[in-house]
């Protein structure tokens, strides 16, 4: 009887210890889950704020480092600069005093933005490990400078718009050439930026959510065009709006039929071999 009671006592102690262990483990997992959720909320907040700030920086790059730089290089004078918070509803602009080498001045904004975008993309591609907030900042800079330059080229190829309108008037470009150049450059940037964004998102989210994030991100293109359409001075037609969903649709195909399917194949090689 004494042995039996002794055994029961040890069983109770063991059971109590296991219960305490699992309760502690559950609390730890809950805390980790709450921290992860808080981290994701912080990431999304930073993502939006940094995106808006870098939009302004890209406008600065276009107007000052692009047009302004060439004005100063050729001995001109910058009279005034206006950076629009409401871009693309309202365009930024720079006023200068220069008559020579005017082609380089008009083209400067696009050329400098393209250089900044692809140099930044190259850095993010080569750099294996980067702090997420630093990578996110550079990603937005690369994105906005790409959109700024290719947007001018493609929209300028469809309608009378911005710097491209002046370059066409000067005989440097035609509508078709501008459209083709802008499209090719955008496609290259689209592929590269999608890969970079996926690499950033995968640090905080699962592969499926990261891919979904990449797809949803490219819906920013129709949003930007809708903002432009709200201003009748832009001269864009509503008929172009469906075309702006192509990047998101293409991203969906790439992410779900190429990236995720390949990852699943690597994750279960036996299943693939059996099939």
Residue 34: the pLDDT is 53
Residue 255 Cα to chain centre, angstroms: 15
Selected residue with higher pLDDT from 143 and 24: 143
The confidence score (pLDDT) of residue 9 equals 46
Q: Is the pLDDT of residue 232 over 70?
A: yes
- Residue 189 — pLDDT band, cuts 50, 70, 90? very high
Reduced to 3 states (helix: H, G, I; strand: E, B; else coil), residue 95 is strand
Q: How confident is the model at residue 95 (pLDDT cuts 50, 70, 90)?
A: very high
Given this model, what pLDDT does residue 12 score? Answer: 41
Residue 267's pLDDT is 59
Q: How far apart are CA 121 and CA 33, in angstroms?
A: 33
Query: How far is residue 84's CA from residue 163's CA, in Å, rounded to a whole number?
Result: 16
Condensed to tens digits (0 to 9), the pLDDT of residues 10-67 reads 444 443 343 344 334 433 333 345 556 677 788 899 999 999 999 999 999 999 999 9
Size of the chain in residues: 275
Strand segments, DSSP code E, in 85-214 are: 93-97
Q: Establish how many alpha carbons lie within 13 A of residue 24's alpha carbon, considering only the half-sphere containing its beta carbon.
A: 6
- Average pLDDT on 217-243 reads 91
**Residue 109 confidence (pLDDT) above 50:** yes
> Residue 105 has what pLDDT?
95
For residue 126, pLDDT over 90 is answered with yes
- 108, 83 Cβ separation under 8 angstroms: no
Q: Which residues contact 129 (CB under 8 A, 6 or more apart)?
A: none
In 3D, which of 79, 141, 76 has the Cα closest to residue 112?
Answer: 141
Pick the more confident residue, 232 or 267.
232
Q: Mean pLDDT over residues 91-95, rounded?
A: 93
Q: Quick one: pLDDT band at residue 150, thresholds 50, 70, 90?
A: very high
- Which residue did the predictor score with more confidence, 39 or 220? 220
Phi, psi values for residue 96, rounded to 5°: -140, 165
Which has more pLDDT, 137 or 127?
A: 137
DSSP letter at 243 equals: G
Distance from C-alpha of 224 to C-alpha of 219, rounded to nearest angstrom: 9
Neighbours of 223 (CB within 10 A): 10
Q: Do residues 143 and 193 make contact, with C-beta atoms less than 8 angstroms apart?
A: yes
More confident residue, 236 or 97: 97
Interhelix angle 246-254/175-201, rounded to 10 degrees, is 40
The mean-pLDDT minimum among 75-79, 144-148, 178-182, 202-206 falls in 202-206
Q: Which burial class, exposed, middle or buried, applies to 51 when counting CB atoms under 10 A from its CB (0-12, 13-18, 19+)?
A: middle
- Cα gap 137→176, rounded to integer Å: 34
pLDDT for the residue 50: 96
| Least reliable range by pLDDT among 21-30, 86-95, 217-226, 231-240 | 21-30
The pLDDT-based confidence of 100 (bands split at 50, 70, 90) is confident
Mean pLDDT of the chain: 84
Residue 2 pLDDT exceeds 50: no
Percent of the chain scored above 90 by pLDDT? 65
What is the percent of the chain with per-residue pLDDT over 70, rounded to a whole number? Answer: 81
Token pair for residue 146? 């790409």
Measured at the alpha carbon of residue 262, what is the angle toward residues 258 and 266, in degrees to the nearest 5? 175
Residue 165 pLDDT > 80, yes or no? yes
């Amino acid at each position: 009887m004494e042995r039996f009671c002794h055994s029961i006592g040890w069983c109770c102690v063991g059971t109590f210890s296991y219960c305490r262990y699992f309760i502690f483990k559950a609390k730890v997992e809950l805390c980790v889950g709450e921290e992860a959720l808080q981290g994701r909320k912080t990431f999304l907040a930073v993502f939006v704020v940094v995106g808006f700030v870098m939009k302004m920086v890209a406008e600065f790059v276009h107007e000052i480092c692009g047009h302004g730089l060439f004005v100063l290089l050729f001995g001109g004078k910058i009279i005034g600069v206006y950076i629009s918070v409401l871009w693309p509803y309202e365009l930024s602009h720079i006023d200068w005093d220069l008559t020579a080498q005017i082609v380089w001045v008009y083209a400067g904004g696009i050329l400098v933005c393209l250089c900044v975008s692809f140099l930044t993309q190259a850095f993010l591609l080569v750099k294996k490990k980067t702090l997420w907030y630093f990578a996110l900042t550079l990603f937005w800079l690369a994105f906005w400078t790409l959109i700024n330059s290719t947007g001018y080229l493609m929209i300028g190829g469809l309608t009378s718009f911005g710097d491209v309108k002046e370059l066409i008037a000067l005989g440097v470009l035609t509508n078709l050439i501008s459209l083709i150049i802008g499209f090719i450059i955008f496609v290259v940037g689209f592929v590269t930026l999608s890969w970079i964004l996926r690499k950033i998102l995968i640090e905080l989210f699962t592969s499926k959510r990261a891919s979904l994030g990449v797809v949803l991100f490219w819906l920013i293109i129709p949003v930007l065009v809708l903002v432009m359409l709200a201003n009748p001075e832009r001269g864009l037609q509503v008929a172009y709006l469906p075309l702006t969903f192509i990047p998101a649709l293409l991203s969906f195909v790439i992410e779900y039929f190429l990236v995720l399917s390949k990852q699943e194949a690597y994750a279960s090689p036996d299943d693939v071999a059996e099939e």
